[in-house]
Amino acid sequence: MKDRRPGDGGGGPGTAMDEHQPDKRTAILNASLILFTERGFHGTPTSMIAREAGIATGTLFHYFKTKEELITALYLSVKKEAGAVLRSGAGEGGDWEERLDGAGRAYIEWGLENPEKVRFMQQFCYSPFVSKETHEEGISHFLFFYDLIAEGIRAGRIKDYPPVLVLSTISQGFVATILRASAEPDPEKQKEMVAMSTDLIMHGIFR
């Protein structure tokens, strides 16, 4: 029998079941993020994910038919979030160099608050468990950053290397900065480390 609220027709968007669905889906993704990062894909059975998420295994399969489908959804979710952070930090219009710097600072700040998401992206960036199509969709969230780099190359401020190579170099530099700085317990030393690393990354690409 369907769970109904008083006065509700049942089965529609106002049911109690539907109210809780987003929370369960989020709980599954959050649990998967932690476990995949700690234990890897093969070392993380769906029963463990369900237990960590506080749901029944059957409920997990209601949202994700396979573990591959789950990791695809998680990968795209994290990539979309990271891309949104970069875009927000870059802002709209204005000097491209300021936008590039703003995007980098915003990304590092987000990464320090979410190191497990950065580790997940690094761990599964070239993983065979993530399809080529999924990789391409994930990259699509960063195309505006690619355009910023290309603009810098055309302006003669960034070294004339392929933009995709510059993007990869910057991205890996940001990841290294985040992972190293997140292990530093002293906030002041962490801030200093981020400043030095950012300076090093940018000097590496600028003419």
Are both 34 and 91 inside the same structural domain? no
Are both 158 and 183 inside the same structural domain? yes
Q: In the prediction, which pLDDT does 22 show?
A: 59
What is each CA distance from 10 to 14, 20, 24, 41, 138, in whole angstroms? 8, 15, 20, 38, 37
pLDDT band at residue 9 under the 50/70/90 scheme: very low
> Of 16, 47, 65, which one is at a domain's C-terminal end?
65
Tell me the C-alpha distance between 110 and 35, whole Å: 20
Query: For 20-63, what is each residue's pLDDT tens digit?
Result: 455 999 999 999 999 999 999 999 999 999 999 999 999 999 99
CA-wise closest residue to 167 among 155, 153, 180: 153
Query: Cβ distance 71 to 36 under 8 Å?
Result: yes
Query: Cβ distance 64 to 71 under 8 Å?
Result: no
> Of 48, 65, 82, which one is at a domain's C-terminal end?
65
Number of structural domains, the chain? 2
- Statement: residue 17 has pLDDT above 60: no
Q: Which domain holds residue 57?
A: 1-65
Query: DSSP H helical segments within the chain, as ranges?
Result: 16-39, 46-53, 57-63, 67-90, 96-113, 115-124, 132-139, 143-154, 163-182, 187-205
More confident residue, 78 or 125: 78
Tokens standing for 31?
């649990």
Query: For 117-131, what is each residue's pLDDT tens digit?
Result: 999 998 888 788 888
